[in-house]
Amino acid sequence: MLNRRETLLTGMAFSALPSVAHTHTSPLVIKPQQGIARLGPPDVPETKIWGYNGTVPGPEIRVAQGSEVTARLENGLAQTTTIHWHGIRIENAMDGVAALTQAPVPPKDSFDYRFTVPDAGTFWYHPHNRTWEQMARGLYGPLIVEESEPPAYDRDLVLMLDDWRLNDDGQIDEESFGSLRDWSHAGRLGNWPTVNGAPQPDYTVKRNERLRLRLINAANASVLVLRLDGMSAQIVAYDGMPIPPEPLESTVIIAPAQRIDLIADVTSDEAALMLAGRENFRACGFPVKGQKRRTPLGDTVALPANPISDDFDLANAVKTTLSIDGGAMRGFTEARVGGFGAAYRGEAPVKGIISRRELAFEHQLVWALNGIAGMPVEPLFKAEAGQTAVVKLINEGRWPHAMHFHGHHFRELSEGAPWRDTILLDPRETKEVAFIADNPGRWMLHCHMLEHQAGGMGTWFEVT
Ligand code: C2O
Ligand code: CU
């Protein structure tokens, strides 16, 4: 038996994911490179992908809460890349944001990541450079941080959901990369969902078995509506942060980059995870073989709390309003170009206010945050370490957005709101969130619909 707490990496409980043994003499190497995956139905050819170590998802990294992760990125791509450890309250220099926290890693070059993981929960990793293309091609993997004393369950299963856009030959549709239509509408929506890089996989379970399901939405832009048939499930965490357990009654929404942890008892022979928004697409099945026990385990399923404080000091908070505008069927008539990329490359940023048309057709920018399209040279706000930050997110437009803050979890300023690192805003919706800005550095804040991010919906804040 493997002792989980001494093992950095294990294979996924019962999927086809590769298992990489970790010892102290061989550092974990994560190499983005080309690979082949059976994504589509049996009658279409296998798909050429880009995967970490050639597979999708990449290797599962599984560590104990509070431990140190060391991972070497070896770039096997023909493009520059980085790795971002999504949702980890990490040291800024290890956050993996190209140009903001590190130089992007050239082909054949490498970068050593080393960080500790303060929170237990379900996290993941992905590139943060041309993310819209690199993730659409398959670069992502799970990062699981284990509690020292989790509630009782029989098995732990990570389910990484994706939504690919494949052409008739089963290959990634490359022609639509960079499509201004996608960028200004809902983003790159796929036509073929997978779970753990497989088409409608089956995971064999036992009757009355208790599963911990860790759902991760790794799609570029699709907001997924999930239903779990044949199981009695409780939601125990969002975005890696525990909540008081809530029964999953009918459906639950998982926006891009979000995670949901469930504790689920198999109560029927017809258990399946369904995408309810897609005329009931069966994302994966759980065929039952045998019986685990006569009756399900009791109802103690709450996860232990993570070390995060909501002792907000609202009186002395730095307060910011973020107006999200742009996209099709709405929008600003003009905006400034943020200019961060140009400044980083040593070029003169485009100055002045530019018309919507020129922004779109000259700069491929279709979204603006507070009237600035693309990463600004100056941060959205600065906070002193330990200061409370309040951000009012106002979605002025007609499209939903999944807003993600780096380096911090936040929560809405309403009673009992869960901690999140990514929050979904419906069209015309406003949400006010707060967090204690206790992690020094330059942190990105952007829409995790990756075409929106690329099309201008990115900014940053600084904790000094
Ligand atoms: Cu999951 Cu800025 O990223
Ligand atoms: Cu968006």
Q: What is the DSSP code string of 366-418?
A: -EEETTEES-BSS-S-EE-TTEEEEEEEEE-SSS-EEEEESS--EEESSTTPP
* 328: DSSP letter: T
- pLDDT at residue 288 is higher than 70: yes
- Collapse the DSSP code of 227 into the 3-class scheme (helix H, G, I; strand E, B; otherwise coil) and give the result: strand
With a 6 Å cutoff on the Cβ, whether 457 touches ligand 1 is no
Ligand 1 centroid–CA 190 distance in Å is: 19
Ligand 1 centroid–CA 130 distance in Å is: 12
Q: Which atom of ligand 1 is nearest to the CA of 406?
A: 2
Q: Which atom of ligand 1 is nearest to the CA of 444?
A: 2
β 334-337/372-373 pair status: parallel
Q: Which atom of ligand 1 is nearest to the CA of 422?
A: 1
- Residues counted in the chain: 464
Of the chain, the percentage scoring pLDDT greater than 70 comes to 94
Q: Where are the alpha helices (DSSP H) in 88-202?
A: 131-134, 180-184
pLDDT at 26: 59
- pLDDT at residue 307 is higher than 90: yes
With cut-offs at 50, 70 and 90, classify the pLDDT of residue 181.
very high
- Collapse the DSSP code of 437 into the 3-class scheme (helix H, G, I; strand E, B; otherwise coil) and give the result: strand
If one compares 260 and 334, the residue with the highest pLDDT of the two is 260
Ligand with an atom nearest the CA of residue 454:
2
Q: Which atom of ligand 1 is nearest to the CA of 257?
A: 1
Give, for 344, the enclosing helix (H) or strand (E): helix 340-344
Report the C-alpha gap between 294 and 298 in whole angstroms. 12
If one compares 419 and 7, the residue with the highest pLDDT of the two is 419
**Residues 353-368: pLDDT tens digits?**
999 999 999 999 999 9
Ligand 1 centroid–CA 237 distance in Å is: 19
With cut-offs at 50, 70 and 90, classify the pLDDT of residue 295.
confident
- pLDDT at residue 156 is higher than 50: yes
Return mean pLDDT, the chain.
92
Beta bridge partners of 52: 32, 55
For the segment 407-436, the average pLDDT, to the nearest whole number, is 97
- Measured from the Cβ of residue 81, the count of other Cβ atoms closer than 10 Å reads 26
Instruction: State the amino acid at position 451 in one-letter form.
Output: E
With cut-offs at 50, 70 and 90, classify the pLDDT of residue 296.
confident
Ligand with an atom nearest the CA of residue 217:
1
Q: Are 330 and 394 in contact (CB under 8 A)?
A: no
The residue whose CA is least distant from atom 1 of ligand 1 is: 86
For the segment 202-209, the average pLDDT, to the nearest whole number, is 96
Residue 25: partners with Cβ closer than 8 Å, 6 or more residues away: none
For the segment 295-304, the average pLDDT, to the nearest whole number, is 89
Domain boundaries 314-463, corresponding CATH code: 2.60.40.420
Report the C-alpha gap between 167 and 376 in whole angstroms. 36
**Residues 8-51: pLDDT tens digits?**
333 333 333 444 444 444 579 999 999 999 999 888 999 999 99
Among 100-114, 255-269, 350-364, which stretch is predicted with the lowest mean pLDDT? 350-364
Q: Are 195 and 159 in contact (CB under 8 A)?
A: yes
Domain ranges of the chain: 4-147, 180-291, 314-463
With a 6 Å cutoff on the Cβ, whether 98 touches ligand 1 is no
Among 70-84, 229-243, 345-359, 439-453, which stretch is predicted with the lowest mean pLDDT? 345-359
Q: Does 2.60.40.420 match the CATH number of domain 4-147?
A: yes
The residue whose CA is least distant from atom 3 of ligand 1 is: 86
Structure tokens at 60: 């599962």
**Do the first three CATH levels of 4-147 and 314-463 match, i.e. the same topology?**
yes
Ligand 2 centroid–CA 381 distance in Å is: 20
Report the C-alpha gap between 240 and 161 in whole angstroms. 16
Ligand 1 centroid–CA 84 distance in Å is: 7
β 382-383/458-463 pair status: parallel
Ligand 2 centroid–CA 14 distance in Å is: 34
The gap from C-alpha 56 to its chain's centroid, in whole angstroms, comes to: 15
Domain boundaries 180-291, corresponding CATH code: 2.60.40.420
Ligand 2 centroid–CA 42 distance in Å is: 34
Q: Are 73 and 81 in contact (CB under 8 A)?
A: yes
Q: Which atom of ligand 1 is nearest to the CA of 86?
A: 1
Q: What is the torsional sign of CA 322, 90, 377, 334?
A: negative
How far the first Cα of the chain sits from its last, in Å, is 46
Instruction: State the amino acid at position 427 in one-letter form.
Output: P
Ligand with an atom nearest the CA of residue 188:
2
Question: Cα–Cα distances in Å, from 46 out to 39, 143, 159, 202?
Answer: 7, 26, 21, 19
Q: Are 183 and 455 in contact (CB under 8 A)?
A: yes
Question: Cα–Cα distances in Å, from 317 out to 45, 247, 381, 436?
Answer: 55, 35, 11, 9
Q: Which atom of ligand 1 is nearest to the CA of 97?
A: 2
In the chain, what is the greatest distance between 2 CA atoms, to the nearest angstrom? 70
- Measured from the Cβ of residue 144, the count of other Cβ atoms closer than 10 Å reads 23
Q: Which atom of ligand 1 is nearest to the CA of 126?
A: 1
Ligand with an atom nearest the CA of residue 422:
1
- pLDDT at residue 218 is higher than 70: yes
- pLDDT at residue 449 is higher than 50: yes
Report the C-alpha gap between 23 and 7 in whole angstroms. 8
With a 6 Å cutoff on the Cβ, whether 128 touches ligand 1 is yes
Ligand 2 centroid–CA 453 distance in Å is: 7
Among 7-21, 92-106, 116-130, which stretch is predicted with the lowest mean pLDDT? 7-21
Ligand with an atom nearest the CA of residue 127:
1
Q: What are residue 356's phi and psi, to 5 degrees?
A: -55, -45
Ligand 1 centroid–CA 57 distance in Å is: 16
* 15: DSSP letter: S
For the segment 215-221, the average pLDDT, to the nearest whole number, is 98
With a 6 Å cutoff on the Cβ, whether 259 touches ligand 1 is no
Ligand 1 centroid–CA 308 distance in Å is: 20
